[in-house]
């Protein structure tokens, strides 16, 4: 089965990125036809400094490699290195009803939070559809917040196939309910745009400081606490076994265990998971020759698949 997913380099990658997408991709490379990419064209809707975007893009590649993604076992590339996707974007745009895009809640949310109401942001779902359909992906791992975009991609593919005959595989969603929403420091979805993230490879002092700032209620040390409403517990259980989860839950319910204690335990789990890989990540990021080689080879693999699809599309729409 072909699985495809991408991640935006609009800032340093964080726990929400890791548990919501990256960890799953690293697992899928072992038993699926994995297509995994850095969606730097999408990031242009919010990052307006070229140097920053380039550094973030290469940083995201280094993050994946340090965490265990093997570019020889999957197709791993940077979106802009296969520019055919923007050609497909135009073909699909001519089969995308305006009303379909106007109903996108993600667009409205981002504009409400201060992003410019640009054409790029408005047509973001069509570029996302082009990403999926160009590589004929069968399954797309997405969070609940991206489910609507996947439904739009399916609608566009159905319409194109109806007009021109069977052309695109209709992608299906892959949503893990337990990972549907990774909470940030303030309880909202962890997101770079909300400024509520804990970065994967941040220095330990920064991780500790951010964990200590996580929102809690006013219950004292000796008061019983509800694990289901505790942000700290929701993050803690991502890192540990069911047995350790149960122990933490019992401590919270029993009282005598304060939020400060939970924060220390959570910080230790985060640092214990990622700190051993930080040096590896720094070495990879510093080796620009190796990074560019990985990106180049990944683009060649992705381009081979993309060309097969775009040649068929060109013939069907009549531009070849």
d(CA 38, CA 23): 15
Positive or negative, the Cα torsion across 42, 143, 63, 194? positive
Q: Which residue is listed with tokens 């791993």?
A: 76
For residue 99, give both structure tokens: 């009303």
For residue 300, give both structure tokens: 């060649």
For residue 47, give both structure tokens: 């990052």
Contacts (Cβ under 8 Å, ≥6 apart) of 93: 123, 126
Rg (CA), the chain: 21
What one-character-per-residue DSSP string does 94-129 give? TT--HHHHHT-HHHHHHHHTT----HHHHTHHHHHH
Contacts (Cβ under 8 Å, ≥6 apart) of 317: 91, 164
In the set 108, 192, 263, 316, the catalytic residue is: 192
Residue 189 is a catalytic residue: yes
In the set 113, 189, 289, 301, the catalytic residue is: 189
CB atoms within 10 A of CB 274: 22
- Kindly list the distances between the CA atom of residue 251 and the CA atoms of 125, 221, 233, in Å, as whole numbers in the listed order: 44, 11, 11
In the set 110, 225, 237, 251, the catalytic residue is: 110
Residue 110 is a catalytic residue: yes
CA-closest candidate to residue 207, choices 271, 119, 280, 149: 271
d(CA 221, CA 186): 21
Residue 192 is a catalytic residue: yes
Q: Which residue is listed with tokens 């939070």?
A: 113
State the catalytic residues.
110, 189, 192
């Amino acid at each position: 089965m072909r699985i495809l997913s991408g991640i935006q380099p609009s800032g340093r990658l964080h726990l929400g990125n890791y548990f919501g997408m990256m960890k799953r991709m690293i697992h899928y490379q072992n038993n699926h036809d994995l297509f995994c990419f850095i969606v730097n064209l999408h990031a242009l809707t919010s990052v307006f400094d070229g140097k920053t975007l380039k550094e973030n893009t290469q940083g995201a590649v280094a993050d994946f490699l340090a965490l265990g993604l093997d570019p020889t076992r999957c197709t791993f590339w940077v979106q802009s290195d296969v520019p055919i996707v923007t050609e497909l974007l135009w073909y699909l745009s001519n089969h995308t009803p305006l009303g379909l895009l106007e109903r996108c809640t993600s667009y409205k949310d981002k504009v409400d939070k201060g992003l410019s109401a640009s054409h790029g942001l408005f047509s973001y779902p069509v570029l996302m559809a082009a990403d999926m359909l160009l590589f004929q992906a069968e399954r797309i791992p997405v969070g609940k917040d991206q489910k609507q975009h996947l439904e739009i991609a399916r609608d566009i593919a159905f319409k194109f196939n109806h007009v021109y005959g069977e052309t695109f595989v209709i992608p299906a969603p892959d949503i893990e309910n337990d990972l549907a929403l990774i909470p940030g420091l303030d309880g909202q979805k962890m997101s770079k745009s909300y400024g509520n993230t804990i970065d994967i490879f941040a220095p330990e002092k920064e991780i500790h400081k951010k964990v200590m700032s996580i929102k809690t209620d006013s219950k004292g040390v000796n008061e019983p606490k509800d694990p289901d409403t505790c942000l700290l517990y929701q993050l803690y259980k991502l890192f540990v076994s069911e047995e350790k989860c149960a122990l933490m839950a019992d401590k919270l319910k029993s009282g005598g265990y304060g939020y400060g204690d939970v924060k220390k335990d959570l910080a230790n789990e985060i640092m214990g998971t990622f700190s051993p890989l930080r040096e590896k990540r720094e070495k990879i990021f510093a080796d620009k020759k190796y990074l560019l080689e990985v990106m180049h080879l990944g683009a060649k693999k992705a381009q081979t698949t993309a060309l097969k699809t775009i040649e068929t599309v060109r013939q069907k729409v009549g531009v070849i």
